[in-house]
Amino acid sequence: MNHETDKQIDQSPHPTLAPVAETPELFESRKADHIRLALSNDTQALGGSGLQSVRLRHEALPDINFDEVSLEVSLLGKAVATPMFVSSMTAGHAGSGDLNLRMARVCEKRNWPMGVGSQRRQLTDENADLEWKKIRQTCQGVRFLGNIGLAQVISTPVDAIRRLCDTLEAEAMFVHLNPLQECMQPEGTPQFKGGLKALETLTRELGLPVIVKETGSGFSGATLNRLRGIGLFAVDVSGLGGTHWGRVEGGRSTGLRSEAADTFRDWGIGTVESLLAAVAAKQSGADYEVWASGGVRSGLDVAKLVALGAKHVGLAQPVIAKAIESEEALDKKMELLEFELRTALFCTGAKDIETFRNLRVWEI
């Protein structure tokens, strides 16, 4: 036995957790893996959202006509057709250009905001800008929301992040918080120290609204209170209940990370629980809008979250699944979601989203 070698290994901090150096080829593979695994039932934590326990009170005698029901709301001072938006999931791998173009075209047609996948690659590869520039030229009316991880916000100058927004002509920037995913990802960067200060700097200097979101593990009330007063435009609670990124990364990993991902397969705070905590924070003085996502699979799910207090509601996995099929399939899916949401309003006696929120038609 080589004791000197053993000694060297023992002295290395977390040797089995050293991140894998990511080449362009590995990046492409990682992003393709994300889409493949996100569409698998094995990575879905649908039982954890809490949506199944929310009930909306039926109104048997609504004093409105169905065609009078309006889903229109305002986002950043401009009208959008619905409180729904396409939530961030993918960008950057071969074939993603066509996928993102399909989503952008349908979002432009239906006047839905579109959150893009992580723009991390654009920080080091200017060629990655070209995909989004081409899409923007084709879809000049789509309302893009940029996206970058907190680990990159901590380590990247604000000017570089602003350039990401400029490439998209984005109206706002999502910053995603994903500590569990970063731990389970072989190429992960679980370095979050100084994150709150970095967020405050970004909100002050970026020149665009900043929206903080989780990635399927939700927020506690304590964390939501820590986010007060730093200039955020909104918090998307993105709770447990949909695509579970710990499971996704576990499906990409072997050995230690794969086993650990199974241990943490149900880790997180449910979407409904997170949303109620965010609404409570808002009612007690939090200065940000409350958005929701995480396990949203129908227009009725959207209605439940809007009734509970969400200003806007994001969907990712069901949108990606249809976008992979075709632009037509995605358009039909979004039409269905709008019809389901409109039906929920009509059957609770609400003529518009504001009325629906004020009726307090929900119970748990």
pLDDT, position 88: 84
Q: Write out the two tokens for 125.
A: 């590869």
Q: Report phi then psi at 305, rounded to 5.
A: -70, -35
Mean pLDDT across 93-119: 90
How would residue 248 be classed by pLDDT, with cut points 50, 70 and 90? confident
Asked if pLDDT for residue 21 goes beyond 80, the answer is no
Domain residue extents for the chain: 71-341
What pLDDT does 10 receive?
Answer: 36
Spatial separation of the C-alpha atoms in residues 32 and 28, rounded to whole Å: 6
Q: DSSP string spanning 232-300? A: -SEEE---BTSB-HHHHHHHH--THHHHHHHHTTT-S-BHHHHHHHHHHHHHTT--SEEEB-SS--SHH
pLDDT of residue 5: 37
**pLDDT digits 0-9 by tens, 154-182:** 999 999 999 999 999 999 999 999 999 99
d(CA 335, CA 246): 31
Q: Is 74 helix (H, G, I), strand (E, B) or coil?
A: strand
- pLDDT tens per residue across span 299-358: 999 999 999 999 999 999 999 999 999 999 999 999 999 999 999 999 999 999 999 999
Rounded Cα distance, 93 and 90, in Å: 8
- pLDDT at residue 186 tops 90: no
Q: What is the pLDDT of residues 28-66, one digit of tens each?
A: 566 667 677 667 777 788 779 999 999 999 999 999 999
Give 89's DSSP letter: -
SS3 (DSSP) at 94: coil
Report, as an integer, the average pLDDT of 59-83: 98
**How would residue 261 be classed by pLDDT, with cut points 50, 70 and 90?**
confident
CATH fourth-level superfamily of 71-341: Aldolase class I (3.20.20.70)
Give residue-wise pLDDT tens across range 282-304: 999 999 999 999 999 999 999 99
Where do we find the tokens 């362009």? Answer: 24
CA distance 38 to 214: 16
